[in-house]
Every structure is written in C-alpha cells, then in structure tokens.
Chains A and B, each alone.
Chain A
Amino acid sequence: SQQGEEDPQALSIQEGENATMNCSYKTSINNLQWYRQNSGRGLVHLILIRSNEREKHSGRLRVTLDTSKKSSSLLITASRAADTASYFCATVYSNDYKLSFGAGTTVTVRA
C-alpha cells in the first residue's frame, strides 16, 4: 500500500494562479520529498524537507511540513503551462532505505 496520500487527486487552474496540494502520511518520517512527473516519463526531484524542518522554498515552490498532523503541502506560485504534470509526495521512514510514494496529484494549468 502507498504511504503518502495526496489531495486533491486532480487540480485545474489558470495560468498565473497558485496551485496547492497536500500530502498526508501515517507514521514517523525522516524526510519527505516532492517529485514531478510529466506524462509517462521519469520523475524529477523538486524538494526535500527533513522532519525537523517546517518550511522550505525553492524558486516558485514552497513546501511545509507539520509532523504533529503528519501532513505536508506543496505550493506552486504563479503557475505556468509548463507546470502541467503529476506531483507526488514520497516519505522516508527512520532506518528505512526506500521512498514510499503516494498516488499523486494531477495538475493542469490552462493558458
């Protein structure tokens, strides 16, 4: 079973708007990562946030982590058509080697 669960499953926004997606997980983690996947292609790492961090920024991306609620959010500001993709959160448990992925959020940015 997949550990992280993204919400919403799909999101359609206008170019220039912000996109927010959420991820929930079930047990304690070492870190949480976000990846992007363009249709049928490989995944690209976006950002990693460790369990002792609360917020990280990378360009137009902002990630927050709330370990008390076991949740994370990814915000994409000023979206562009090129941001159209599926976004996945992935969790790493303490003393674990693997990344456990959620089912993803499909984001469509309309021109």
Chain B
Amino acid sequence: DAGVTQSPTHLIKTRGQQVTLRCSPKSGHDTVSWYQQALGQGPQFIFQYYEEEERQRGNFPDRFSGHQFPNYSSELNVNALLLGDSALYLCASSGTGGEVRTGELFFGEGSRLTVL
C-alpha cells in the first residue's frame, strides 16, 4: 500500500518563476493538507483540500494556490517566486474528511524548493 507520494523531490527555480508541486494521498484518504517548512523551523500550514474545495487556509498570500482532483490527488502552485519561498513543501493526507477534528496525518517525503 503506497503512502503519500510527492513530486518532484528537488527543484531549483529563479525569482519570479512559477512552480507546481504534486501529491498523491495515501490509499483511502480523501483530505490533503500542504505545509511549508523552512530550514530549522516547524511546518507551517498552507491550506487543506477536501471534496475538491479549499476547506481551510493558513496565513499565506494569494501567490499560493492549490487544487484537488476527483481522485483526491492535489497540486500546490506558487506564482512569482521569492527567495523566501525556498523551503521543504510537505503534503499530508488523512481520512477524516467528513469530521471536524483532525486526527493523524500521513506525510510525504516533501519537495525541496530552492529559489535563486
């Protein structure tokens, strides 16, 4: 049973460019959350998708957008990249879709983005 898979694992972009990161949730999970983790910091919540809708959003600018597909996979898009967007981007899935309270999250290995 495959866990959460993310692609690409590493990428390098220059300021002003756009990037798309992809995530496939663990089998049976319908909810996908995205986190940004800067070096030496804890993960920061970007947003969560459930039933193809953004259900909750963290304190990130509109340059960060996402999408969830009918098969529950998800994309994170970041436009007009800044140096400060360099981070590990983590996708996490869970199966608590219809419930309010979040239980255990299953994380992918992340996509390491470097902005030059």
Contacts and interface: CB of A to CB of B under 8 A. Distances in A.
Given A103-B41, A104-B42, A30 B101 contact: yes
Contacts of B102: 30-31, 92, 96-99
Interface residues on B, range: 20 to 34
Contacts of A45: 104-106
Interface stretch (B13-21, B64-72, B74-82, B108-116): B108-116
Contacts of A42: 4, 90, 107-110
Interface in A81-104: 88, 92, 94-104
A2 interface: yes
B58 interface: yes
> For the complex, would chain A's binding face be called helix, strand, loop or mixed by DSSP majority?
loop
Contacts of B112: 40
B100 A95 contact: yes
Nearest to A41: B109
Contacts of B43: 43, 88, 101
A95 B102 CA distance: 9
Nearest to B43: A101
Interface in B3-60: 4, 33, 35, 40-45, 48, 55-56, 58
A48 interface: yes
A9 to B, nearest CB: 10
Contacts of B56: 96-98
B112 to A, nearest CB: 7
A4 B44 CA distance: 12
B104 A48 contact: yes
A104 B42 CA distance: 6
Nearest to B110: A42
Contacts of B48: 97-98
B61 interface: no
Nearest to B97: A97
Interface of A: 2, 4, 30-31, 33, 35, 40-45, 48, 88, 92, 94-104
